Structure 1
Amino acid sequence: MLQTVLETGLRQTMSRLIRPWLHPAIPVPLQRSIVAQAYRSSVPPRGCRFSKMTVGGIRATRTDFGDAGPGVVLYLHGGGYIIGSPSTHRGITGHLAKACGWPIIAPDYRLAPEHPFPAALDDAEAAYDGLLRDGYNPENIAVAGDSAGGGLTVALAMKLRDGGKPVPGSLAVMSPWVDLSHQRLYSPEREPVLQARWIDKAARLYCGSEAPIHPLISPVFGDLSGLPPLLIQVGSEEILLNDAQRLAEAATRQGNETTLEIFNSLWHVFQVHAGQLDRATDALNDVAAHISQHRAG
């Protein structure tokens, strides 16, 4: 009963305090500032340790909880490629570090419009290459991300495969944004977070001179064969539901081990409420189980 009330309250909070700011008329710098403040409500568990670092020449934040295990999670934050940072996602990285027992490395990749495609992808690849140089077994590297970071996760795996580099042991994406052409956006009865006009603007800023159906911008149009085992999580109350379903269908059709989890009555990247909302905490525990299942040894 209390969890049901909490879900209702959080949904209303997202709808009233977050969604109005994700409007195309609001300047990107102001959105970055407002969203950074709003994410303060996403609280990591007690005992998390955060440290600044560089990996592959990219600034990043490392999250630890307890003793570090043999692997690492490269976490790519969301924000439509125009807002967000490792700092805004400390709640998710903190709870994921606690759940999986591995350090979480969140690179501060470059954002549009200052740095359009392929800047974010180049930075993600540089960070991954840095982990390899640091001696991590690729089978003990998991890549995870939410929203735009989810699309970036899949694009990174595709680029690594095509470049003949060792791919990570597993991928996990939450509410992935994988079709920036928005050809088949879902129309839920209610959408507490995203506005279609805002993601249209974000897509234009990120794509720059490239077509939105470029496979490394919109991975749902790309070759998904030969990628690591993929876990996809999405809420039923979000316009990106079809993105997640189409990604799962395409990956499965092309022979990939793929798991799709749809969380009824939840919204875009509800995992930010881990530690408060039981289903959000459970979702990150599922991500941790997926990582554990596909690690070396």
Structure 2
Amino acid sequence: MLQNLLESGLRQTMQRMIRPLLHPAVPIPLQRKVIAQAYRSSIPPRGCKFDSITVNGIRAVRTRHGATKEGVILYLHGGGYIIGSPDTHRGITGHLAKASGQTIVAPDYRLAPEHPFPAALDDAEAVYDGLLKEGHAPASIAIAGDSAGGGLTIALAMRLRDNGRPLPASLTVFSPWVDLTHQQLYSPEREPVLQPRWIEKAATAYCGQQPRTTPLISPIHGDLDGLPPLLIQVGSEEILLNDARQLSELASRQGVETTLEIYNSLWHVFQVHAGQLERATSALTTAAAHINRYRAG
């Protein structure tokens, strides 16, 4: 009963406070400032340690909780490629670090419109390369991300494969944004977070002069064959539900070991409420189990 009330309250908070900010009329610099404050409600668990580090020339935040295992999760934050940072996502990375027992490294990749595609992808790849140079075996590295960071997770794995580079052990994505053409957006009865006009603005900023069907921008328009085991989590109350479904169908059809989890009556990247909402905490526990299942050692 209490969880139902909490879920209802969180949904209303997202609807009244977050969704209006994610509007194309709100200037991006203001969105960045206000959303950064809003993310303070996403609280990491006690005992987390956050360090600002540099990996292969890219600033990142390293998250640890207690004794860590031999493994690292490269976490790519969401925000439509135009807002967000490793600092806004400390709630998710903190709870994922606790659940997995692994170290999380979240890059502060460059954002659009100042830095359109492929800047974010280049930065993500640079950090992956940096982790390899530090001595992490590919089989001990997992890549995860939410929303735009989910799309970036898939794009990075595709680029690594195409270039003959060693692949990570697994991929995990929360509410992935993988089709920036928006031709098959889902229409839920209610959508507490995202507005189609906002993601349209974000897509324009990120793509620049590149076609939206470019596979490394919209991975469902590419080839997923040979990618590592993939876990997809998505809420039923979000316009990106079909992105998750399409990604799952394409990956499965092309031989990728894929698991799709749809959380009924939850919203875009509901995992930010881990530690408060039991279903969000459980989702990250499931994600951690997926990551640890395929981690070497």
Displacement of 1:30 after TM fit? 0.2
Match of 1:278 in 2: 278
The code of the aligned residue for 1:12 comes to Q
Displacement of 1:56 after TM fit? 1.5
CA deviation digits over 1:92-119, x for unaligned, max 9? 0000000000010000000000000000
Match of 1:122 in 2: 122
Match of 1:100 in 2: 100
Match of 2:193 in 1: 193
CA deviation digits over 1:58-96, x for unaligned, max 9? 100000001121000000000000000000000000000
Pair 1:63-2:90 in alignment:
no
Give the structure-2-normalised TM-score.
1.00
The code of the aligned residue for 2:28 comes to V
CA distance in 2, matches of 1:152, 1:158: 10
Map of 1:212-231 to 2, 5 A cutoff?
212-231=212-231
CA distance in 2, matches of 1:187, 1:251: 23
SS in 2 for 1:280: helix
Match of 1:288 in 2: 288
The code of the aligned residue for 1:53 comes to I
The code of the aligned residue for 2:267 comes to W
Pair 1:151-2:160 in alignment:
no
The code of the aligned residue for 2:293 comes to Q
The code of the aligned residue for 1:146 comes to D
Displacement of 1:127 after TM fit? 0.2
Displacement of 1:146 after TM fit? 0.1
RMSD: 0.4
Displacement of 1:133 after TM fit? 0.3
Displacement of 1:213 after TM fit? 0.7
Pair 1:205-2:205 in alignment:
yes
SS in 2 for 1:91: helix
SS in 2 for 1:210: coil
Pair 1:168-2:162 in alignment:
no
Pair 1:178-2:201 in alignment:
no
CA deviation digits over 1:3-60, x for unaligned, max 9? 0000000000000000000000110000000100000000000000000001121100
Match of 2:80 in 1: 80
Match of 1:19 in 2: 19
CA distance in 2, matches of 1:70, 1:10: 36
SS in 1 for 2:242: helix
How many residues align? The count is 297
Displacement of 1:178 after TM fit? 0.1
Gaps of 5+ in 1: none
SS in 2 for 1:51: strand
CA deviation digits over 1:130-182, x for unaligned, max 9? 00000001011000000000000000000000011100000000000000000
Give the structure-1-normalised TM-score.
1.00
SS in 2 for 1:75: strand
Map of 1:7-46 to 2, 5 A cutoff?
7-46=7-46
CA distance in 2, matches of 1:282, 1:49: 22
